[in-house]
Structure formats: structure tokens, C-alpha cells
């Protein structure tokens, strides 16, 4: 719905959920291996309990070109998909993990 409101053609987001050991990461990596490297970049970011917002921002900015003061794009006019793995990891659970 968001891409329709903002008129972003083809901008789709997906959240893949499931229990531990259900091959979510493997499924995503098999899917992204089919990308054409000439037109599409792929960035995988693994979250952990040590991941901070600053780490995430630096990791993203390292792969992008700054076009204007607040506009970043993938280099070479390519498209880019970002896979955020273990997104729930930064949360500290009841026993401190």
C-alpha cells in the first residue's frame, strides 16, 4: 500500500518470519542469488545484541552514494535489496541474552 500512496513503482517490502532453524536465511540467500549483478546490488546486515543504530547507519551508508544532503542511492544507477538478518536480536530477553 505504501508504494501506491507514494507512487513508488515496484517498491516492495517483505518480512519473513518463523521459528529458529526454519531456513529463513537460506531461503532469502537462494532467492537473492538469482539477482542480476549488473543491475541489482545486494546487502546483507546481520543484527546481534551488539548492533547499535549507528552501526546500522554506517553499514548502509558504506554501500550508497550521497546525491544530495539527505538523498542516498546505490552506485552506478543500480537497484539495491537489503536483507536484515536476525532483526529481533538486539532486544535483550529476560535472561540477558
In the numeric block, which cell numbers belong to residue 43? 546487502
Phi, psi of 13 (to 5 degrees): -120, 145
pLDDT band at 6 (very low <50, low <70, confident <90, very high): low
Is 16 within a domain? yes
Number of domains observed in the structure of the chain: 1
- Which range marks the domain in which residue 22 is found? 2-85
* pTM of full prediction above 0.75: no
- Residue 86 burial (C-beta neighbours within 10 Å; 0-12, 13-18, 19+): middle
Tell me, yes or no, whether 95 lies in a domain: no
Task: Give domain status of residue 92, yes or no.
Answer: no
The answer on pLDDT for 83 being more than 60 is: yes
> How do residues 13-66 score in pLDDT, each as one tens digit?
788 888 888 898 999 899 889 989 899 999 999 888 778 888 889 999 999 998
42 domain residue, yes or no:
yes
Q: Pick the closest to residue 82 from 8, 32, 27 (CA basis).
A: 32
Amino acid at each position: 500500500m505504501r508504494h501506491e500512496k507514494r507512487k513508488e513503482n515496484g517498491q516492495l517490502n517483505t518480512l519473513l518470519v518463523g521459528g529458529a532453524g526454519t531456513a529463513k536465511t537460506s531461503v532469502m540467500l537462494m532467492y537473492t542469488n538469482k539477482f542480476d549483478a549488473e543491475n541489482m546490488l545486494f546487502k546483507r546486515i546481520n543484527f546481534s545484541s551488539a548492533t547499535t543504530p549507528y552501526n546500522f547507519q554506517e553499514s548502509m551508508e558504506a554501500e550508497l552514494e550521497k546525491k544530495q544532503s539527505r538523498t542516498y542511492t546505490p552506485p552506478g544507477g543500480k537497484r539495491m535489496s537489503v536483507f536484515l538478518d536476525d532483526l529481533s536480536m538486539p532486544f535483550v530477553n529476560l535472561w540477558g541474552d
